[in-house]
Chains A and B, each alone.
Chain A
C-alpha cells in the first residue's frame, strides 16, 4: 500500500469487511441465497411458502449429496464424473430388480455397480495415477454401456418404483420433506468426517500437498481408493432417492445432475485444486443452484436463453465469491 494519503484510517471498512468474509466464507453465500429468494418473492409475490420450501429442499437434496461426492474428491484435487452414471445404474437396477426380488436383495444388487465403479476409479487414480477426470469419465462411459446391455435383459419384466423410495423421495411429513431423514444424517456424517476424523484430515492433506502427506507416512493409494468407493456409494444411494423423486427410470436419469454437482461444490467454496473447502458451503451452493433454476423457470424464457443465463450467473457468482473470500 503506497497510496496512504487517500486512506485516513489504517484499515478501511471495505478491508475489514473482506477480512470478516474471509474468516467466515459461509456468510456471503447465505446472503446470496437470501437475495435470490427475495428476488423470487418480488417477481412472483407469494411464491415463497411452506410448499415451495419443501419442494426446493426435495430437489436440492439429491444435488447436495452428489455435490458432497464432488466436495470430497475435489479436496484431494480430483473430481468424480461417474456419480451420474452410478446413481442412474443403482436407480435403474433397483427399479427393475424389485419386480422379482426381495427388496434387500434388490438393494444389494443396486449397490454392487456403485462399489465396483468406485473401486476401479480409486485404483485407477490412486495406484495407476490416471487423471481423475479421465478415469471417472471412462468408468462412467463403461457403466452407461453396461446399463444399456442390462436394459435388454430386463426389458420384458418391466419396472416399478418401490413404495418406500416413493415415500422417501416425494413424501412430506409435518411440512418437512421425508428426504431429510436421509440427508441430515448423511450431511452430519460428511461434515464430521471432514473435520473430526483422521480420514478427513488426510483428504485435505493429500489435496494440499501430496508429497508432504507421503513424507508423513500417508499411503496415497489407500486414501484415494477409500475416497472413490465412498463417493460411489453415496452416489448410488442418491440414485435410489432420486428415482423416488423423478419416478421414471431411464438410462440418463441422474446424468443432468453431474455438472451442477461440480458447480455446487465450487460455488460453495471448495477449490478444484484441492486442500481447501468444506461440505456446509457445498450444501448452500446446491440450494443456490436450485433456487436459481426456479428463478429462471418463472422468468418464462426460452430454454436456450435460460441455459445461457444460468451459465453466466454460475461463472459470475464463483468469480465474485472467490474475490470476496480470498484474503490477499
Chain B
C-alpha cells in the first residue's frame, strides 16, 4: 500500500498572533477529525506539519494519520516570516522521508504540499533560492493559500499555479481552507470524470482561485 505524504506549512509569524492562530488550530483539529473519518485516508495518508516564523519548526515528521497527536500551535507576538527557510526544510524532509520507487519496490505517492501564509516571505534571498528547488521536485500538487488582506499572492504564484486566497483570517475562513485540504487529500477514492484528469475538488465559496 503506497503512502500519500502530505506536508502542511503554516505561517506562525507575529501577525498570526491572537485570533488567526486560534482559528488555525481549530481548523487543523477539524481537518484531522474529518480525515480520521475517511477509511481511504486512514490507510494511506501520512502527515507532516512545519511552522515558520523567525524560526522553522518541525512540529512532526511524516506520521501515519491514526498516530498523529496534534499539539497546540503557538506563535510569537512579533517576528518575521521565514518562508524560504521553511521551503528548504520541506525539501530536506521530502528527500529523506519520501520513499521513491527503486524499480523493484513500490514507492510512495507523490507528496502534496499545502502552504498557508498571511504575509510575504521576510527571507527573500532564501525564498528565491528555494522556489526553483521546490519547483523541480516531484510534488503531486502544491497549493498555496494567501490568508487575509496582507498576504502577498505574487510570491506564492512563483511557487505554484494553485494559489487560493482567503479574504479574512477568521475561524470560518480557515475552517473552509482546512476542509478543502482534507477533501483534496481524500480525492483518491472519488469517481473520475470521463473527460478530465484527476483534479482537486472545487474550492468552497470563501476561496477565490487566483489565475
Is B a genuine binding partner of A? no
**Which residues of chain B have a CB within 8 Å of any CB of chain A?**
none
